[in-house]
Amino acid sequence: MKHSLLKIYTTVFIAVGLLILSFGAGWYVAKENGENTQGQSGSVFSLHKHQNVDLSLFWNVWDLLDAKFVPTHGTSTAMTDQERIYAAIEGLTDSYGDPYTVFFPPVESKSFAEDVSGNFQGVGMEIGIRDNVLTVVAPLKDSPAEKAGILSGDRIVEVDGQSMAGFSAEEAVEIIRGEKGTEVTLTIRRESVREAFQVPITRDEIHIPAIDTELTEDNIFVIRLYSFSAVSINQFREALREFIKAETDKLVLDLRGNPGGYLDAAIDMASWFLPEGKVIVREDYNGEAEEDAYRSKGYDIFTDELKFVILVDGGSASASEILAGALQEHGKATLVGTNTFGKGSVQELVSLSEGTSLKVTIARWLTPEGVSISEGGLTPDIIVEFTEEDIENREDVQFEKAVEILLNQ
């Protein structure tokens, strides 16, 4: 690598301390505020008094169901009072029409915590709701889902013959997840395939990968980042150290299929390429509070001699979009691939009583120039789509375009 690629304070690269914060690119963690008020019937009937809300209709319906309901078919279930309260709260959150605002009863709350920690059993894919349809954001690297051929953008219409219409992503996760060695069959609709088709997947232990590196024959250094986890900050720093040792000025950061993760990881990674104080992402509260801006820490060790391409696709979401959007708008990297997923909202995870929790959307992410990430995702500088022939021949035309750009700069 030419010495001009690095700024003269390269020693900062080794010496900088890295702080891992407790919030993510898609969610924050918070504790319950306020006290529970116990009613005469225990926690089920605990009420938070709102002067302008009349709950008499709710309790009238509750009492009528208690007095009159008779199950008439096999799908009717006898619910405990606590389960009915949970169902009522779920109905309240559903009424907001936001797929990312979700109430978690105890079992689901525990499962979500396992997802965050990165250790669980299942098929290994990130799913979300797009156009009211359960959609694969990205299968994880080397996961059962990836090995079975699941692709970003696949729409899941059935799980083991059960329609997913009307299910939230969290509800679908509970059905798809299962013990290692068991099988689940997904019915998939894919744009390139005329008819829906079934994909059987054997569940396994899932470990979320972080990063891979490679130096190609063309002397291009490649960093493949699979998630923005708690360990990825240090791993990315080590990858950049390898890049420097490789003595090349050509870098590819592959964020394809990366569903996101911790916000602080995206901020830290962007800081290696941006001067201190440059805006990386804005947090907009839609007028409810003053906008926040997350700025570069200013590691900024590379000069303008760096030749840099970032690969993105429909599986690049959340923290991936924050990092790619910042480096694109500040002119540090060329984006190649297809439009990103468009996960540009911020959720706060609030721990509640009895092992329950609430994930609630509190803001939206904007790029440094104020563009909403949720509005169709990021658009690459150079759009490269795969043809059916590319897929059959296993040709990575997006990576080939990145190589072409770097070799001709």
pLDDT of residue 138: 85
Mean per-residue pLDDT over the chain, rounded: 84
Residues ≥6 apart with Cβ < 8 Å to 32: 350, 351, 352, 353
The pLDDT tens digits of the residues spanning 109-160 come to 777 665 555 557 899 998 988 888 999 988 888 899 999 999 988 999 999 9
**Burial grade of 73 (CB within 10 A; 0-12, 13-18, 19 or more):** exposed
Query: Which has the higher per-residue pLDDT, 154 or 36?
Result: 154
The pLDDT tens digits of the residues spanning 309-338 come to 999 999 999 999 999 999 999 999 999 999
Distance CA(269)–CA(261), nearest Å, equals 13
The owner of tokens 């915590």 is 113
CA atoms within 13 A on the CB side of 110: 4
pLDDT of residue 409: 86
Radius of gyration of the chain (CA): 24
Mean pLDDT of 157-165: 96
Percentage of residues in the chain having pLDDT higher than 90: 55
Q: Which residues are catalytic?
A: 318, 329, 343
* Domains of the chain with bracketed CATH: 3-29+208-407 (3.90.226.10), 121-207 (2.30.42.10)
The pLDDT confidence band at residue 19, using thresholds 50, 70 and 90, is very low
Q: How far apart are the two ends of the chain, measured CA to CA in Å?
A: 15
The pLDDT tens digits of the residues spanning 37-59 come to 333 333 444 455 566 788 889 99
The pLDDT confidence band at residue 242, using thresholds 50, 70 and 90, is very high
The pLDDT confidence band at residue 291, using thresholds 50, 70 and 90, is confident
Distance CA(221)–CA(254), nearest Å, equals 11
Q: What contacts 24+ positions apart, CB below 8 Å, involve 37-41?
A: 41/81
Q: What contacts 24+ positions apart, CB below 8 Å, involve 236-240?
A: 236/211, 236/265, 236/268, 236/269, 236/272, 237/13, 237/18, 237/272, 239/211, 239/213, 240/13, 240/272
The pLDDT tens digits of the residues spanning 176-205 come to 989 999 999 999 999 889 899 999 999 999
pLDDT of residue 227: 87
The pLDDT tens digits of the residues spanning 348-397 come to 889 999 899 999 988 899 999 999 998 889 999 999 999 888 877 889 99
CB 218 within 8 A of CB 407: yes
Residues ≥6 apart with Cβ < 8 Å to 166: none
